Structure formats: structure tokens, C-alpha cells
Structure 1
């Protein structure tokens, strides 16, 4: 069996043309000012030998020579693929992949780890540098790493609004405050005056934004009858606390808490929204275990992934000329079946 023909290399071209390998590399990849230093006859000789030998440049080598691999990194602070996290991450990844393909970039999923289970984006910096830039996403970022990214020259974009980390952070996020406030306004219009809020308020920017939108819409005519930042305990205890507070409309940061209330109310023969209105502050891809269509709003996860990818490519290709941008995309209201008039 005949051996496969050996691939022609830059070294072969240099030997046949009687020039250095550096000269061949400049003919292939050099900028105009560098090519000007090579005599035209030398360039023509090198190019002629390339044609005659059928030389095909290594695309990876050419990208490396130009300082661009056309690879985008994607780093998640939590595992992206276990089923418990898929609800959160997959739509972002769909959007990222779609836009990267449209722009002619490949993707590299970075899974750098530090001590214990905490992921670290700089755990292996050489791998980070394989990519021309990186999209960073997660429920909570490491503040020290975010400051390091902002202070450095490595292009990155965060998915989700982030507070300044020594300087503004480039991000694409969702506007959670506006639709949360709109749900409060709808509850007011339906006669609700005593509200309950279940969920954290300061653990991340996304929860802080929901709380800010809720507070801004309360006004002086609505009473926050119950505020639980920790919803641990049995489902029965959770519903008891809501009912004992006198609240008739409940705002749940987590869909899981809305589902717990609905299931427990059903067990007791209490119908939603006749006895209690329950709202989820953000849609989820799946809602296993519940057929209830909660009043909520759709988080534009795929759009956020696409826009973050486009922003990152602009930062890579524009360099220092590209300003830091911060974009919040609107959320789409979901009417649902769980918000009704206040019980009389």
C-alpha cells in the first residue's frame, strides 16, 4: 500500500524559493508595511512555487500568526449540562452557538476549576488564551475574577447585568425590574392590597433587580404583608405563613416556590386564583410536576446569548476602539392563569 503523500510545508517552500521561512510567512500573513520590505520578484517567486507545489496553508497556523483563532470561549460558573442546571443554561448556549456560527467563529467550552468545587476562570489561563475572547455566565460571579477581567486586556462579555468591578462591565442582561413592577400593577388593578414576596433580594444582580422593581411599584396603597428570603421548610408551612399573613397575591422569585404553593393549595381544595394569586418572577424552560400556567414573564435567554456573542465579536475585532456597552433586553409578559381578582 502506497504511503500517503507528505504535506508541503512552509519549510519546503522556503528551501525551493531560496529564502527564509520567515519570508514565506510574511508573504502569507504579513501586513502591507511588512510586505513592502520584500522585493516584488521575491514575493512572485514564493507565490509561484506555492502554486506549483499545491501548497495549502494551515488555517490554524495562519490564524495564530495573525493573533486570532476565531474561537470564542464560553465559561460557566456552574456545570452547564446536569439536568438541574439545563433549565438555566441551555437557552443561552443555543443563542451563543447560533450567533457564533453566523459570524464564522468556533466555540470552546471552558471548565476551569480551582480548589474544591468552585470553578475558576483563571485556573488555567493558557487555555483561556486559546480563545480570542470569552462569554462568562453564571448565577453568581467571582468578584475577584470579574475585577481581574475588567482590569485586563482580554475581551469578554458577561451574560446578566453586573455591577461595576473597578470599571464598567460589558454585559447583556434582562430587564427584570420592569415586568416585576408590571405584575404588581396588575395585582393592584385587580384589587389586591396585601402582598407577599418569597425569595432572595440581594444574592445576585438579577434578584436585586426583581426586588427593586417590586418595591418601586408598591406605592403607599399596597402593603407587603409577608417577606420571606428563606423559604426552607415544608410546603404546608410555607402556605400557612402566606395565608396567616393575610396576603392575597404572592410574588415568587423561584418557580419552584410557586409550584409548592400551588400543589399545597390544591391538596387543601383551595383554587388558584380564586383564593390566592401566585406569580413567578421569570419563566423557566421546563416546569416538571406542574401543569399550571403561572402569571409570569419570559426571560429572553436565547436572545441574550446571541447579543452577547455579537457584542464579544465586536470587542475582539474593534479592539480598543470598541466602547464598553451594557444592554438590558425586555422581558415578555406571560398572562397565565394564576392572577385573578382579590377575594372578597
Structure 2
């Protein structure tokens, strides 16, 4: 027979209402009583009915995660498991579950979110991206549903709490590092400009060149596939003056380009230097190990989840935004150029 609150109350010699208050961590219950009741729960093997408790609270005790793209694509992106670990660590401590969108298209992801919100399946949402003209964002704002965004909003910036890196500064710092070791022809390989992160990183790249008095920009927008990497390297080889360094905006793009370079017998960093954003085991174990801009995705996820939980507990809290610092990790994928190599 299952152990009940009454069984716990009888052995602990307290009222059943006191046991309920201990379960909700009520501030008026003394720490001594809480410890005594919890000890009895452990001895009897009592486990609270979380579903019933959540019904009383009118809460699902669940946070929804809105994927940037299909779940299948996200699982291959090193950013996703790292940011998810940060979120899950915080949410586990606060006794929240996670529900993720599973749609394979933008429309399917939108419908997943509508079901979460209208079905009250989640208490709040975390968006893993920021994008122009996003119907999901408009839906959440219209419904006044609590959410936090990872990434700087493209619109409604005064209405949205978000966690992000200073991506303009991060890309500027990375470009300036390449400039400092002698590279003047630097190619930038970004992604879809509809996403704020790619617009900001391209801006940082442009600013660094402008500060150094370099007028020439070499900009590509591509996806993270083997075919895209090959197409990009083909374009580089056809250029009259090939770049001496490549700045990529994510590890998957970088690895696809690295593979294509080797297929053309170009060696990193002897023939060309390459850098990327993120800093997972992929970068560390690459051949050669990659110079990266660490964006600290675990911290991004942790801070986003922490902010959302605080918003759920205090809906009238003052709006705030958090910038997680980035850090340059120098490895062997970048070569310092000599005077002769600079002018080739």
C-alpha cells in the first residue's frame, strides 16, 4: 500500500497540513520541523504526487524549449547539448521538467508552441534563437506568455528579457586577433542573416577591418554541410588573391570547410588559417586543434533558465538582460604570417 501524507504526519507527530507545508517549503515552518518531516519521508519511502501538487498550484512545473530549427538538425549542433545542459541543471534544482518542440519545419515548430501555450502544457518558454519577422515571437507577445530569449531580440527589445553574448565585440576581437598575427585578407563565413547572431558577428568583422584601415571584405553566407564546405573552398580557390585566414561562425561550418580544404591538399595553418565560434570537444580534438571564441553556452542556458524561473515566481519583476562574456582560445589552427607571406 502506498505511503500517504497521513502516514508521514502520524510518525512525525505533526498535522497532515504541516507535512503539506513542508512539501511546499513554506517559510513559516521551522527548519527543525522540516528536517524531521523529511527524515520520516525518507524512512517511509514517501514520494509526493507531483501531478496533484501541480494541479493545486495551477502549474505544469514544466518549461518549454523552442528549437531554432528541426530537432534532428539541432542534435548535430554542439551548441544545443551544451546550452541544454545549462538549462537542465538549473531547472532540475528548481523541480521543473523540460518539454521541447519536435517539429521539422518552421510551421510545425510554430504549431508545437501554440499547443504548449494554449494547452497550458508549460509555465514558460525559452527561445534558443532570435530571428527577424518571427511569428512565434509575435504569438507569445500577443498572448503575454512568459518567455526568455537566448539572443538579442530583433524587435520589441524593451519588452523581452534575453541572455546573449556581445556578438559584435566577439567577432571584432576574433578578427583583430587574426589581424594582429599578420592576416589582412580575412574571409568571413556566416549564416542566415535573418538571425541576429549572424548580423552581429558580421558587423563585428566589418568593424575590425575598418578600424585597421582595410577596405576589402570577403563575406560568405552558407550552411553547415559537406557540400556547402566544398562549394565555398571552390570559390576561394578561384579568387585571384586567396584569403590567408577564414573566420567561421560555428563549429560545424568550420569542420565542413576544414574537410574540403584537406581534399584540395590545403593544410591548416600552413596554407590557410581558420577560426570558429563555440569551444566544444570538437574544436579541441580537431586536427589541428581550432582557435575559437568560447561563447560559454552552458552559462547562456543556465542564466536563461534562471531568469525564466524568477519571472514565473515574480511576474512583475523588473526587466533585465544578461550578457555572458566570451573568451578567445588560441590553438594551432592559426599561423603568424611573415612580411613576405603578407604580401603574397
Query: Does 2:282 align with 1:298?
Result: no
For residue 339 of structure 1, give the secondary structure of its aligned residue in structure 2: coil
TM-score, normalising length: structure 2: 0.72
Change in CA separation of 1:324 and 1:221 when aligned onto 2, cut-off 3 Å: same
Change in CA separation of 1:124 and 1:111 when aligned onto 2, cut-off 3 Å: same
What's the counterpart of residue 148 of structure 2?
A: 157
Residue among 205, 214, 221 paired with 2:213: 221
Tell me, yes or no, if the aligned pair for 1:194 and 1:224 is still in contact at 8 Å.
Answer: yes
Aligned mates of 1:59, 1:225 — CA distance in 2: 57
- Listed as ranges, the matches of 1:242-281 within 5 Å are 244-281=240-277
Aligned mates of 1:260, 1:57 — CA distance in 2: 50
What's the counterpart of residue 26 of structure 2?
A: none
The gaps in structure 1 that reach 5 residues or longer are: 10-24, 30-55
Tell me, yes or no, if the aligned pair for 2:69 and 2:106 is still in contact at 8 Å.
Answer: no
Query: Does 2:100 align with 1:105?
Result: no
Tell me, yes or no, if the aligned pair for 2:130 and 2:149 is still in contact at 8 Å.
Answer: no
Residue among 222, 234, 237 paired with 2:234: 237
Change in CA separation of 1:240 and 1:128 when aligned onto 2, cut-off 3 Å: farther
CA RMSD of aligned residues (A): 3.6
Greater Rg over alpha carbons, structure: 1
Aligned mates of 1:270, 1:304 — CA distance in 2: 36
TM-aligned CA deviation for residue 314 of structure 1: 0.6
Residue among 165, 175, 192 paired with 1:184: 175
For residue 240 of structure 2, give the secondary structure of its aligned residue in structure 1: helix
Tell me, yes or no, if the aligned pair for 1:194 and 1:223 is still in contact at 8 Å.
Answer: no
Query: Does 2:85 align with 1:94?
Result: yes
TM-aligned CA deviation for residue 290 of structure 1: 4.4
Query: Does 2:325 align with 1:330?
Result: yes
Corresponding pairs, count: 297
- In terms of fraction of residues, the more helix-rich structure is 2
Change in CA separation of 1:191 and 1:291 when aligned onto 2, cut-off 3 Å: closer
Tell me, yes or no, if the aligned pair for 2:132 and 2:196 is still in contact at 8 Å.
Answer: no
TM-aligned CA deviation for residue 111 of structure 1: 3.8
TM-aligned CA deviation for residue 257 of structure 1: 4.2
For residue 78 of structure 2, give the secondary structure of its aligned residue in structure 1: helix
Tell me, yes or no, if the aligned pair for 1:279 and 1:295 is still in contact at 8 Å.
Answer: yes
**Deviation per residue, 1:217-274 (Å, 9 max, x gap):** 1125224352223474536513404x53342222222434433443444455543323
Change in CA separation of 1:119 and 1:284 when aligned onto 2, cut-off 3 Å: farther
User: Which has the larger displacement, 250-259 or 155-164?
Assistant: 250-259
The gaps in structure 2 that reach 5 residues or longer are: 7-16, 22-46
Aligned mates of 1:83, 1:60 — CA distance in 2: 30
TM-aligned CA deviation for residue 79 of structure 1: 3.6
- Listed as ranges, the matches of 1:121-132 within 5 Å are 121-125=112-116, 129-132=120-123
Tell me, yes or no, if the aligned pair for 1:63 and 1:69 is still in contact at 8 Å.
Answer: yes
Change in CA separation of 1:160 and 1:216 when aligned onto 2, cut-off 3 Å: same
What's the counterpart of residue 27 of structure 2?
A: none
TM-aligned CA deviation for residue 210 of structure 1: 0.6
Aligned mates of 1:78, 1:264 — CA distance in 2: 25
Change in CA separation of 1:238 and 1:253 when aligned onto 2, cut-off 3 Å: farther
What's the counterpart of residue 35 of structure 1?
A: none
Residue among 195, 200, 206 paired with 2:197: 206
